[in-house]
Structure 1
Amino acid sequence: MKFIFVFYCIGILQFGFSQNTVEKDPPENIKSIVFKSDTEGDQFPIVKLGQVIQLSFDDLYADEMDYYYRIRYCNYDWTPSRLLKSQYLDGIDDQRITNYENSLTTLQPFTNYQLQLPNNQTKFKITGNYILEITDNKGELMFTRRFVIYKEAIQVGVAVKTSRDVKNLDQMQRLEIIIDAPDFELVNPMQDVKLIMYQNGNFNHSIQGVKPQFISGSQLLYKYEKETSFEGGNEYLWFDTKEIRTASNSIAIVEAKNRYYHYLYPDEIRNGQPYTYNPDINGDFKIRTVDAGATNSDREADYSFVYFSLPYTNEIGLDKIYVYGKFNNYQLTEENRLKIDDKNMMLQTPILLKQGFYNYKYVKVSDKDQIVDYNFISGSHWETENNYTVLVYYREFGKTYDSLIGVGSATSQTISN
């Protein structure tokens, strides 16, 4: 006879500034950081052991600076691991990035740097959480980025369901998860299996700390009503500067001075409005240019100041509003904060961005308690299209690290009751 054990726990929703504990923002001269796998449309920096992950970034000083990379290993919760580098790396790190080119025919000069991992000098031995550190020739840390490496030792099934919570029925999305390990022995899964759920590849939007609700044979079942629920949010806003001299549906005015200037049409506060489907790429961005003669967007896409604007309301008060997206690594920085223009009562800010297709939204930080409200401006709807990624970690008996043994994914396009 098989016994089914029932356990209850509360998931921990990781919203806020937790990402700052492990990722460092770049200095003002470092722009357009793209760090992802070769899989088209995948903004989450995750690869199977042995597969390739790519880094690209620009230095606006354009002086062919020497940059180096280092790699650190972390536990499942991104706390530092005690492993030696020889235990997780095959080869050496702290190597100079040798693949770089200067910009071509752009008003804004820059040097574009490219790094591929693994490479001839650096390979990975184990799965789990890693942090890539980029340093200058003095060893000063420029910026960091997380990435994860996994193996397929188990099967992870994920389904997106509507909420069963009557109070939040119109704005929540719920995940049901089944972990199946027929050929992989999970000893003490209640203690040693760690599950983390991410929305749209955003490390800020995660749920962790949820234990299996049921255990049945080789399966771990997560079918909670609240503990695995995310706010649906709203579809991202977007603009496209691939043709740098041309206005579009989202760009009202283009000016060419010492740099290009793109003035977006003023956005509106969507909170309280009915849901409207608007195809997006879930907060991501893609560098590209189709200007005449361009064949390499990495070095031929130019930069422009993109002006964002939003009406000021009494409800906003003294709270801070930020432009938010993958292009700034979902960070809330002074560069991305809107400032009030007293003449027209608009919140505005210019951001220097490379040509391409961008998703963005506005988020609010309370002046009183510094709590981040991700949907105060955009609103939240259960119909919103979101992608979800579920990572399953397991610390095997006798091991001193958390191996990533399975990955599951789902989209709310197929949401059901």
Structure 2
Amino acid sequence: MVKFLYQKILLLFIFSSATAQVIQTEVAPPYNIKTVTFVQNGSNVVPIFELGSEFELQFDDLFGNEANYYFEIIHCDYNWKPTDILKNDYIAGMDNQRIMNYLNSFNTLQNYSHYKLSFPNQFTTQLRISGNYMLKILNEDREVVFSRKLLLYENRATVSAQVKRSRNLSNIDHKHNLDFTVNSNDIVFQNPIKSIKIFLMQNGDFNTSIKNIVPQYTLGNQLVYKYDAETQFWAGNEYLYFENKDIRTVSNNIGKVGLNSDIYSSFLFTSPARANLIYTLNQDINGNFLVKNINGSDNAIEADYAWVYFSLSAPAFRLNKDIYITGMFNNYNLTPEYKMDYNSDKGTYEKAVMIKQGFTNFQFTVADKNGQVDYENAIDGNFYQTENEYTILVYYRESNDRYERIIGKGNANSINIIN
């Protein structure tokens, strides 16, 4: 009996250890879950928050049956592997609790239940340490419905950054290069080549991230990164957008509105592929979106959903790849729900997507069958004049630390690009 118990405990330990090493990846939500977003101070934001600040996760369930959802929080390392830190050490309180804050839609054609998970909440009073977190939403059977990355940082280091044009003449008109420095007044960096890690991101899209960049050189306690190819991003083009704050009327970039089904349909004007056109300034919000119903008072539950019909004319597109509609409204997900179909009669790519009304930025993304995005051959091209928002995060782990802290955050915008 003792031998059997020992073998069982050993197997459980081996299984737990193997599970702990599994890299955590975001799980895209099913069709009925829409408008998943992190909110701070009333605005949709990229999920990077200062440690101790307040924020929310919000989402809609189109089934509208007040289903029970639960949340789980997992602390991860730089490479998104779960750390071996006890949950009580990074959560003050508990997770695996039911989301209590939800309301049903009001005066909308599309019924839905709107859920709001605040941090802190009555169960989780505080996330205690900085770093990478995976926030999972579970159903009653404790199956993962969807998950989202969440990053918390400390203000222990300053990051000064500048966007420059590429030094390589072959792509000087198509790429942005980040030069930046990292400094701290209260941390003396120990062996920064190994203890410091950098994370670079463009417009809140985790798919564009650049990692594992070591300091080029140091000046005392200042770390200097003045690379060329290692810190370059394809510049892309300005985001496209549509506005249907009044869902019954045509507005910016909407050519026709219909009511052929149970909800309204918004037909966008056909977008031409812009890769071979000259750059044109088009004010955007860098992929973000705003939920808004001008005829309602509470946008969270009074904004309706509409079928939005996208159309793209790209006659020169001959790659054996797919085209997706992406933006922060769908977390840049490359799922079948957002893959465009080719209409041979019209010679255009088309797709209908159900989106909550308001103001929405979107782009056309080219990717292969494995989901690998082709930024170089973007449908709308790459122009150095494009205005992009860049984020720099600094991870640090001293020799006696149990985890990698995020000790600083910096931002840079290409509107101030220099040669």
Query: What TM-score, normalized to structure 2?
Result: 0.91
Contact conserved, 1:195 with 1:393, CA < 8 A, in 2?
A: yes
1:147 aligns with 2:147: no
| Structure 2 stretches lacking a partner, 5+ long | 1-22
| Structure 1 stretches lacking a partner, 5+ long | 1-19
Contact conserved, 1:38 with 1:54, CA < 8 A, in 2?
A: no
1:287 aligns with 2:291: yes
Which deviates the most, 123-132 or 304-313?
304-313
Give 1:351-362 correspondences, 5 Å limit: 351-362=353-364
Number of equivalent positions: 394
Provide the aligned C-alpha RMSD in A. 1.6
1:261 pairs, out of 261, 265, 270, with 265
| Cα distance between partner residues in 2 of 1:272 and 1:409 | 30
User: Could you tell me which amino acid in structure 2 is paired with residue 409 of structure 1?
Assistant: N
Counterpart of 2:202 in structure 1 is 199
| Cα distance between partner residues in 2 of 1:66 and 1:90 | 23
| Cα distance between partner residues in 2 of 1:253 and 1:74 | 47
Counterpart of 1:50 in structure 2 is 52
Kindly state the Cα deviation for residue 125 of structure 1 after the two structures are TM-superposed.
Answer: 1.1
Aligned pair in 2 of structure 1 residues 396, 274: CA closer, same or farther (>3 Å)?
same
| Cα distance between partner residues in 2 of 1:242 and 1:155 | 39
Counterpart of 1:373 in structure 2 is 374
Counterpart of 1:178 in structure 2 is 181
Contact conserved, 1:37 with 1:45, CA < 8 A, in 2?
A: no
1:33 aligns with 2:46: no
Give 1:10-409 correspondences, 5 Å limit: 22-38=25-41, 40=43, 43-122=45-124, 123-257=126-260, 258-291=262-295, 294-313=296-315, 315-316=317-318, 318-366=320-368, 371-374=372-375, 375-409=377-411
Aligned pair in 2 of structure 1 residues 307, 21: CA closer, same or farther (>3 Å)?
farther
**Structure 2 SS opposite 1:327:** helix
Kindly state the Cα deviation for residue 79 of structure 1 after the two structures are TM-superposed.
Answer: 1.8
Kindly state the Cα deviation for residue 29 of structure 1 after the two structures are TM-superposed.
Answer: 1.0
Deviations 1:272-295 (A, max 9, x none): 21111100011111111102xx10
User: Could you tell me which amino acid in structure 2 is paired with residue 269 of structure 1?
Assistant: A
| Cα distance between partner residues in 1 of 2:41 and 2:61 | 23
Deviations 1:46-99 (A, max 9, x none): 111110121111111111111111100000121221211012111111111111
Deviations 1:323-355 (A, max 9, x none): 111111101111111112222122111001111
Contact conserved, 1:58 with 1:112, CA < 8 A, in 2?
A: yes
Contact conserved, 1:251 with 1:262, CA < 8 A, in 2?
A: yes
Contact conserved, 2:58 with 2:116, CA < 8 A, in 1?
A: yes
| Cα distance between partner residues in 1 of 2:32 and 2:185 | 51
Aligned pair in 2 of structure 1 residues 366, 23: CA closer, same or farther (>3 Å)?
closer
| Cα distance between partner residues in 1 of 2:372 and 2:410 | 30
| Cα distance between partner residues in 1 of 2:39 and 2:418 | 30
Deviations 1:92-121 (A, max 9, x none): 111111111111111100110111112232
Kindly state the Cα deviation for residue 171 of structure 1 after the two structures are TM-superposed.
Answer: 0.8
**Structure 2 SS opposite 1:299:** helix
Deviations 1:303-328 (A, max 9, x none): 11000011252533542111111111
Deviations 1:222-270 (A, max 9, x none): 0112211111110000001111011123001101231101100001100
Which deviates the most, 312-321 or 259-268?
312-321
| Cα distance between partner residues in 2 of 1:162 and 1:319 | 29
Give % identity: 40
| Cα distance between partner residues in 2 of 1:155 and 1:92 | 32
Contact conserved, 2:24 with 2:134, CA < 8 A, in 1?
A: no
Contact conserved, 1:156 with 1:178, CA < 8 A, in 2?
A: yes
Contact conserved, 2:24 with 2:82, CA < 8 A, in 1?
A: no
| Cα distance between partner residues in 1 of 2:199 and 2:316 | 38
Query: What TM-score, normalized to structure 1?
Result: 0.91
Kindly state the Cα deviation for residue 365 of structure 1 after the two structures are TM-superposed.
Answer: 2.3
Contact conserved, 2:238 with 2:281, CA < 8 A, in 1?
A: yes
